[in-house]
Amino acid sequence: MQQLSLAEILIPVISGIIGYGTNVQAVKMMFYPLKPLGWPPYFGWVGIIPSNAERLARVGLDLVMRDILKIKDLFEGKASEQFLKGSEDRMVDMTRTLISEQAARRFPAMWQMLPDSGKAAVYDTAVAEVRNMSMVVVDRVIDEMPSLLNTTEVVLHAVRSDRSLMNEMFLQVGKKEFSFIEWSGLWFGLVFGLIQLAAWVIYPAWWTLPVAGFVVGYVTNWLALLLIFDPKEPKRILGMTLQGLFHKRQAEVAHEFGNVVAGRVFTNENIFMQLCRPEAREKIMAMVDAESDKALAKWQNHPMAMGIVTPELASEMRGEIRVTVEKELFAENGVIASITAQSDQIRVMLQERMKKLDPVSFENVLRPAFKQDEWKLIVVGAVLGLIVGFLQVLFTVGEQVL
C-alpha cells in the first residue's frame, strides 16, 4: 500500500477546519450585513434575518401574541380601580377645577351665592360621578383591548425602528444553538474527512476534494440543524439520552424569549403608543363621550339646572370638558398609560406558558418563521465547502493532480 503524504494525512484535519469555518461563516451570513452589500440578491448580500425581518416578526411574534398569550389574558381578574389609583388625585383636582371654571364663567351669580357647603356638595357629587364614569370607561377599554391594540403593528413598529432587533432576538434566544452549529462543523468535518481521505486514496482526481468539501459543508449544516430540533422528546440511544438542543433548553429559551419580547417589542411605551394612534384614540374618546352624555343628561334634568342648561350650552360644555378629559386620559402618567403598562406581565406570562408547552407547540413558536430560510444556511455551507475544497487542492495536493 502506498504511503500517505503529510498533505493527505491532513485531509481529515482540514475537513474539520472546513466544517467549522463554513458553519461559522454561514451563521454570520444569516445575520450580517444589516444593510445590503452590493446588489442583492445576485450580485450582493444582506443577512438572511435582516432581509426577512418584517416577515419573521410578523409570523413569529404575532403568532405568539395570538396563540400563546392573548391580549385579554393580561387583564383577567383585574379590576378597573387598580388602573385608576395613580390618577385618582389628579382626577379629583381636574373635576373640581372644571366645576369651578364652568360654574364661575357660565353661572357666576348663582355660583357666588352658593355657600361653601353647597359647593362642597356639588364637588362631591361631581367627583363621584366622574369616578363611576372612569370605571365604566376603563372596563370598556379593557373589554375592547383586542380590537384597540393591533399587536401586528406593535411588532412591525419595533422592527422598523430598530434594524438590529430581529438579529439580537435570534442571537439572544438561540445563542447556544448557533454555537452548536459552528462547533459541530468541526467534529462532523473530522468524521467526514476520513471518508474524504478514503475517496481521495481510491480516486485522487482534481475534483474529489472540492466535491467532498461541498458534501461536508452541506451535511454538517444539515446535521447541525437536525440535531438542534430532533429528537423532540428525550430518547435512549446506545445507552445515551438524546434530545434536540432547542427542546432540551426549553426553560432557558422561554426565559430569554420572554425577556426579549417584553423588553424590546411589547414595551409599555410601544403599547401606549398604539393606543394613542388616531383610530384607537377616537374609539376610546367615543366611550368617554357616551358616558359624558349620560352625566350631562342627569345634570340637565336636575331641578336647579332645568331651563338654565340649554342643549346649546350643554354641547359647548361637553366640547370643553372633552378636551380636558382627553388630555388627562392620554397623559404619559394617565389612565391609558396605566392600562398599557403590561410589559412585566407579558414577560412573566410568556415565560411561564412557553415552559409548559408540548414539544411540537414549543418548536412552532420560533421555527416556522425561520424554517423557510434554513435551506439557505445549508446551501451557503455547501458552497463555501466547495470553494475551500478547490483551495485545498491548490495548496496541498495540487502537484499530484495538476
Q: What is the pTM of this model?
A: 0.75
In b/e form, how buried is each residue of 215-249, taking b as 16+ CB within 10 angstroms? Answer: bbbbbbbbbbbebbbbeeeeeeeeeeeebbbbbeb
Q: What is the pLDDT of residue 397?
A: 65
Q: What is the pLDDT of residue 199?
A: 76
Q: What is the pLDDT of residue 1?
A: 47
- Cell 353661572: give the residue: 107
Q: What is the pLDDT of residue 299?
A: 62
Q: What is the pLDDT of residue 201?
A: 79
Q: If we measure between CA atoms, which residue out of 53, 261, 265, 28 comes closest to residue 164? A: 53
What Å distances lie between residue 29 and 34, 340, 380, CA to CA? Answer: 10, 38, 8
CA distance linking residue 348 with residue 366, whole number of Å: 18
Q: What is the pLDDT of residue 288?
A: 85
What Å distances lie between residue 351 and 178, 251, 301, 348, CA to CA? Answer: 21, 8, 53, 5
Say if residues 387 and 203 touch (Cβ distance below 8 Å). Answer: no
Q: If we measure between CA atoms, which residue out of 188, 194, 187, 193 comes closest to residue 213? A: 193
Alpha carbon 298 to its chain's center: 46
CA distance linking residue 56 with residue 370, whole number of Å: 7
pLDDT by position in tens, the chain (length 402): 457 777 777 878 887 887 788 778 778 887 888 887 878 766 777 787 888 788 877 777 777 777 788 888 888 877 777 788 777 778 778 778 877 877 787 778 877 887 888 878 877 877 787 788 888 888 888 888 888 888 888 888 888 888 888 888 888 877 888 888 788 888 887 887 887 788 777 877 878 878 887 887 788 778 887 888 888 888 877 777 778 888 888 888 888 888 888 888 888 999 899 888 889 988 988 888 888 777 776 665 555 444 455 556 556 667 777 787 888 888 888 888 888 888 998 899 888 888 888 888 788 776 765 676 778 778 877 887 788 778 777 766 666 665
Q: What is the pLDDT of residue 18?
A: 77
C-alpha dihedral, 288 to 294 to 295 to 300, nearest 10°:
140
DSSP secondary structure letter of residue 358: -
Q: What is the largest CA-CA distance in the chain?
A: 121
